Amino acid sequence: MLLNKPSGITSNRALQVSKRLLAATKAGHTGTLDPMAQGLLPVCLGQATRFSSALLQADKTYTATMKLGYVSNTGDAEGVIEQLIDPDVISAKLDIQQVADVVHTFLGQSSQIPPMYSALKKDGKALYRYAREGITIERQPREIFIHDISLDAWSKREMTITVRCGSGTFIRTLAEDIAKKMGYESAYLTALNRISIGSFELSQSCTLKELEQEPQISRTRFLLPVDGLLQDMPRIMLNNQEVSRFQQGQAIRKLVAANQQPQQDGMLRVYDENNYFLGLGAWQESDTLVPKKVLLAQA
């Protein structure tokens, strides 16, 4: 299910409410949003949790609004905020084209130092836990990739950008880095909205309120098929005999046309002749399909 998480609650809280409303016994989400942030949060239920990792490395798109000339110890409006510089002084020296030009310099690959208030771990302990204890841990720069970035609005004290980035990018840190390059010394996020993950768009999502107001019997209309997570993978169809072997976890010898030779070690979606999704397999050799993740047969 594609959930539009509201600002003000944790991703785990949104997950637990969704799980309860859909009477699911097992649930997980892909890609945590900070409590202040809102937007697209894919929620996997039941057997879909086994395939949730497919979205972890997907590109993500955000709109972010930042307050210039200030710093927050958390990087957002929930932290302790301090003014570093009068933003009006810097803004008076800039025009909107100069600001847009600075923003565009962040396109492509660059290094980023992760924030202390993050879920990254040191010795099995999340960095934000150290931060809450007043402890600062040295962090190594990490490579990130910005596919697209644009300036949506800029005033003397605030600016809004839209960013499409690779996995592992911290928008809070990006906001600080952009502000520093413009001369504001720092910035913190006042709003963050995730509008896409991979091929999924925020326009496809539902809210917790919509889910709650829907009669219990029809809430499943918000659910998408499991293989919706895996559309970037190639697919293969099995006959009835092959389906039985696949569901029992047995390797399958299968010849394919010369122009459809499989890539070694590449995962692919597996279907029966009725186009029912069976799970994931991989080619062990050029003619041997090995089951990797198999959906339990429905009663």
| 145 and 218 co-located in one domain | no
Domain contains 53:
yes
| 184 and 250 co-located in one domain | no
Domain contains 299:
no
Per 3-state DSSP, the chain is made up of helix, strand and coil in percentages (nearest 5) of 30, 35, 40
pLDDT for the residue numbered 260: 53
| 180 and 209 co-located in one domain | no
DSSP string, 34-78: -TT-EEEEEEEEGGGGGGGGGGTTS-EEEEEEEEETEEETTSBTT
| 180 and 223 co-located in one domain | no
Residue 161's contacts (CB-CB under 8 Å, 6 or more residues apart) are 63, 64, 66, 103, 149, 150, 151, 152, 178
CA dihedral in degrees (214, 219, 222, 224; nearest 10)? 180
pLDDT for the residue numbered 30: 85
* Residue 93 backbone dihedrals phi, psi, to 5 degrees: -95, -5
- The alpha-carbon radius of gyration of the chain (Å, integer) is 23
Domain contains 40:
yes
| 87 and 151 co-located in one domain | yes
pLDDT for the residue numbered 265: 58
| 65 and 112 co-located in one domain | yes
pLDDT for the residue numbered 285: 76
| 21 and 70 co-located in one domain | no
Long-range contacts of 271-275 (CB under 8 A, 24+ apart): 271/235, 271/236, 271/237, 271/238, 272/237, 272/238, 272/240, 272/243, 273/237, 273/238, 273/239, 273/240, 275/237
Would you tell me the crossing angle of helices 171-182 and 96-104 to the nearest 10 degrees? 130
Domain contains 75:
yes
| 212 and 139 co-located in one domain | no
pLDDT for the residue numbered 249: 92
| 190 and 81 co-located in one domain | yes
pLDDT for the residue numbered 132: 87
User: From CA 190, how far away is CA 70, in angstroms rounded?
Assistant: 11
Strands 187-197 and 38-45: parallel
User: From CA 278, how far away is CA 246, in angstroms rounded?
Assistant: 8
- CATH code of the domain in which 212 resides: 3.30.2350.10
pLDDT for the residue numbered 116: 86
| 118 and 146 co-located in one domain | yes
Domain contains 125:
yes
| 66 and 115 co-located in one domain | yes
| 94 and 192 co-located in one domain | yes
- CATH code of the domain in which 268 resides: 2.30.130.10
pLDDT for the residue numbered 77: 92
Domain count of the chain?
3
Catalytic residue among 34, 76, 177, 227: 34
pLDDT for the residue numbered 104: 97
Domain range holding 251?
Answer: 233-294
What are the per-10-residue average pLDDT scores of the chain (299 residues)? 95 95 91 92 91 86 98 92 96 96 96 86 85 87 96 96 95 96 96 95 96 94 91 89 92 69 71 94 85 79
Q: Is 34 a catalytic residue?
A: yes
